[in-house]
Structure 1
């Protein structure tokens, strides 16, 4: 059986964001297919790593990205466990992966979540060209690159000059295998919890709220989209979930009278995905696939998204569950909400096949 080491440079157990959840599920399902070791930071809850061995090798400080001592600790682990493949999450520890590849004679795979330099370029960071040089170098040193979307794969081939045969699409996965049959019960449960009228349409927005693309999207809902819905007299409520809402927004209390309600971080986000009639995604910056959209569709909820927000979703399998609107077209966004608020369609069967975590993990192990 193949022996694999995955290097994760930050806390992901328990998970609070889509990126952390991706790594947690990736490791869980890959760990069922091979002998998997994960080198991570000490602030992870090792009890949650039930299909693999978690080693707290990396330091918790920001200096872990330049800690030469981690090279010797990982080199020792690789030799002891006879590991033949190393995966690194993101390209930031690429220098470390390259050194391990050269000295330990192992295969190196970089598991990308987006095009990092492009993400920071869209966020207005002046140093993105430096990251582009480093990221391109790291990906070229890898034996294989796992890309989260076909869009990212083509970008790497065309703009970073990577060989097509070594770039493999490994999408963000879902645990669901079919359309849920309890959406109405979930809606009633969420409405009861937040004292909302269950006969009103229920819309959801979710994300880490101190991340600029998500915060900008929230402001678009508050200042652009919701006023149009109020003007239309649509009977609806919008629930906002997620951690780290800026203090100046005061838990959105000023918007409660305008049918907007802040639920904070929720333990069972699938409950809210299933409860919602629509998931709103007015994101207009930032890179990578929006994992919350993949999960919402898996829970049988139609997504209304900007074109930028919908980048990376495999449109061939979404059917009518993903509605795209041009960026900045808030009138068009509101019109699509009004059009689909009362429409219920099933998520296509092929969607569950394409994004199934078990199938993805099997593909990963065949590739390592």
Structure 2
């Protein structure tokens, strides 16, 4: 079979940064095993490693300079759709149209932010299959945001009304794509239920990273949290961890330090900056903090966006502790690192010296599982593209 031509429209793409950037890289590399991949993005890789990975995979990247966003137009779009996830860029739209005019694509992969291009694509390239990369179920995420971050009752009602309107839009795009790419089996079942069919495929997080922790300390005093610090699950997770785990650890007289690494920290996170807590904001390279730290903590109990950071931590070989709510997609892989309640973080951190060998063995097993995912992702892509080539139903069947 001749390699199909595929166009991926990504908001951001790189080997590091936020989950959306890394998951876009993850999928570009998976598709590139069996397809000729062109990428249009509003933010091309900034890292040398990210650029090299795409170049070596044969991907051609076109970066679009987004026009200045009109705040009035953004408010109108928010009122219309109930959510600000969509990035309606005229420059992006024009670039995609130009590329569709120059080259025939068998497959066009959109993220939720760019699904507004679907109707135009179907008019210009009616034979192309449209796949939707559904990194999260944004409607559910926004419900949690309203519940936990909006205190004003009137404002809460307005947000709920807007989110209800948005739900129908997200479901429309999920249903109307030729197939959906999900990040885990649980997400696959969710989107299959919305679609009413089985044309949902799992491409799990499995980007290859170099090991950054060549050795592990016998003690556990330097703790690390990674993530965008304007996102409500990270804000809630860090705040609860500091109040219920970190401060009691300090009260025990030990010299613990917590590094909170991630862009856009909100004021309530910045206020934690102190002798024992470092809030870095955005950093060019998180690996220096992985090398500096003894343990990566993932205390989040809300949201669905930590799957990428768990994968990254495992491959870079830093021991982890993860709340059970954040282990979706890693069942059977991160059992040793899983804690059932917040108080267990404190117990496991204090017991770290006695459990170090267990952490090291669990990391080795988890890394082997991630390596298997790379092969499984390639098999999923091969099956999907073969069905598109032969114009067969896209029913998911790879286990």
TM-score normalised according to structure 2 size: 0.74
**CA drift at 1:226:** 1.1
For the 8 Å contact 1:239–1:263, the answer to whether it is kept is: yes
**CA drift at 1:73:** 4.6
**CA drift at 1:146:** 0.4
1:318 matched to 2:340? The reply is: no
The 10-residue stretch of structure 1 (105-114 or 219-228) with the greater mean CA deviation from structure 2: 219-228
Matches within 5 A, 1:1-368: 1-8=3-10, 10-12=11-13, 15-28=16-29, 30-31=31-32, 33-41=34-42, 48=51, 50=55, 51-56=58-63, 59-62=66-69, 65-66=87-88, 73-90=95-112, 92-104=113-125, 105-124=127-146, 125-126=159-160, 127-158=162-193, 160-164=194-198, 166-176=199-209, 182-184=214-216, 201-234=221-254, 236-246=256-266, 250=270, 252-254=272-274, 256=275, 259-273=276-290, 275-310=292-327, 312-320=328-336, 322-326=337-341, 330-340=342-352, 342-344=354-356, 345=358, 346=361, 347=363, 348=365, 350-356=368-374, 360-361=377-378, 363-368=380-385
SS of the equivalent of 2:169 reads helix
**CA drift at 1:136:** 1.1
**CA drift at 1:244:** 2.2
SS of the equivalent of 1:145 reads strand
SS of the equivalent of 1:308 reads helix
For the 8 Å contact 2:44–2:62, the answer to whether it is kept is: no
The 10-residue stretch of structure 1 (60-69 or 271-280) with the greater mean CA deviation from structure 2: 60-69
For the 8 Å contact 1:205–1:239, the answer to whether it is kept is: yes
The 10-residue stretch of structure 1 (24-33 or 293-302) with the greater mean CA deviation from structure 2: 24-33
**CA drift at 1:86:** 0.3
In structure 2, relative to structure 1, the CA distance for the partners of 1:37 and 1:46 (3 Å cut) is farther
Equivalenced residue count is 342
Distance in 2 between the 1:249 and 1:161 partners? 39
Distance in 2 between the 1:276 and 1:46 partners? 22
- Structure 2: runs of 5+ lacking an equivalent: 75-85, 147-158, 386-399
**CA drift at 1:332:** 3.1
In structure 2, relative to structure 1, the CA distance for the partners of 1:157 and 1:250 (3 Å cut) is closer
For the 8 Å contact 1:279–1:296, the answer to whether it is kept is: yes
Distance in 1 between the 2:278 and 2:98 partners? 51
Instruction: Give deviations 1:256-305, integer Å, cap 9, x for gaps.
Output: 1xx33334444432453355332211213223443212211223333222
For the 8 Å contact 2:212–2:287, the answer to whether it is kept is: no
Root mean square deviation, CA, Å: 3.2
In structure 2, relative to structure 1, the CA distance for the partners of 1:183 and 1:18 (3 Å cut) is farther
In structure 2, relative to structure 1, the CA distance for the partners of 1:206 and 1:69 (3 Å cut) is closer
SS of the equivalent of 1:83 reads coil
Distance in 2 between the 1:263 and 1:342 partners? 31
TM-score normalised according to structure 1 size: 0.80
For the 8 Å contact 1:200–1:235, the answer to whether it is kept is: no
**CA drift at 1:54:** 2.1
